[in-house]
Amino acid sequence: MIQVENVSKRYGQRTAVDKLTFTVNQGEILGFLGPNGAGKSTTMNIITGYLSATEGSVKVDGHDILEEPHEVKQRIGYMPELPPLYPDMTVQEYLAFAAEIKGVARASRAKAVDRSMEMLQITDVRGRLVKNLSKGYKQRVGVAQALVANPPVLILDEPTIGLDPQQIIETRALIRSLGREHTVILSSHILPEIAAVCDRVLIINRGRIVASDTTANLSRGLSGESRLALRVAGPEAEVLERLRGVANVHKVESLGSREAGTVDVSVEAPPAHDIRRPIFEALAKAGHPILSMRSQDLTLEEIFLNLITREREDD
């Protein structure tokens, strides 16, 4: 759906974006990450046509942003970090205006506005002036603006800034549901949000791509192993002995006991091996029930810091 090929953006001697090449598939939610000044906003502005690239090409649904800018912009809904709201309009007036300039047919405009307000749960403030809204409601109006024309591509820059915890949960659920019908690029500094919502993450630093994969694959690639945390009912020595006998398990470590009659254990294996089923079978055969099992893969924060630090050290 989105093809970015060898895109660079230079301002005099400074390179903001350096030969970026990546694709975003139809129906995919891509998390777009990087430290401040990495080139994220510049890249998103190039994709939307707000900025032109110094070199390279961008295509959206097969349309080149330079050769067919109108076709591309019709297919993109964009919410920048600071939504371009008109404070003296009501919410409904603003969304109707946005629908008009985005080319929504007059006969369909009211329905489109109602649909976007319902999705963002802002129908209760439809008659209020934008300037009188809380920051959280303004963010939601910004997302509604991006959705009002029902474009196939959505680019959302920090969509949950200013929202309360319940609104953040609702917005995450909305973004996940949008991924069934839209291609989404989501940029956020809240890394657990990216991990919870996105199918894949793309991390850039100093205008260059440093990683592009699922969180799970990046974690395994960086740690060089697959880690599980278990809580098992049974004597510590017997549980550890059974786990050490499971094929492809190369490290077993007791983490102590937090519940009477149980032991918490960390188990490591090579990244290419799924050891969950063999562990279950070995412990079940020995009569030691598994009370909990969870992955101990690196968090997205750890992945992000590891990659950024590694690139700085390489430079």
Could you tell me if residue 79 is inside a domain?
Answer: yes
202 and 135, same structural domain?
yes
84 and 215, same structural domain?
yes
144 and 69, same structural domain?
yes
- pLDDT at position 315 is 58
- pLDDT at position 264 is 95
168 and 279, same structural domain?
no
- Residue 59's pLDDT band, with cuts at 50, 70 and 90, is very high
* Torsion of the alpha carbons at 58, 64, 68 and 69, rounded to the nearest 10: -10
Determine which of 6-15, 86-95, 167-176 has the lowest per-residue pLDDT on average: 167-176
254 and 173, same structural domain?
no
Number of residues in the chain: 315
Share of the chain above pLDDT 70, in %: 95
198 and 135, same structural domain?
yes
The count of domains in the chain is 2
254 and 181, same structural domain?
no
Neighbours of 131 (CB within 10 A): 11
Residue reference for tokens 């937090």:
258
230 and 213, same structural domain?
no
- pLDDT at position 173 is 86
List the domain range (segments joined by +) for residue 13.
2-219
Residue 61: pLDDT over 70: yes
Could you tell me if residue 308 is inside a domain?
Answer: no
| CATH number, domain containing residue 248 | 3.30.70.2860
- Residue 132's pLDDT band, with cuts at 50, 70 and 90, is very high
- Residue 313's pLDDT band, with cuts at 50, 70 and 90, is low
Element (H, E) at 185: strand 183-187
Could you report the per-residue pLDDT of 76-110, keeping only the tens digit for each? 999 988 888 999 999 999 999 999 999 999 999 99
Determine which of 100-104, 114-118, 181-185, 218-222 has the lowest per-residue pLDDT on average: 218-222
Could you tell me if residue 311 is inside a domain?
Answer: no
206 and 109, same structural domain?
yes
Q: C-alpha distances in angstroms, 193 versus 186, 202, 301? A: 10, 14, 11
Higher pLDDT, 17 or 171: 17
- pLDDT at position 100 is 94
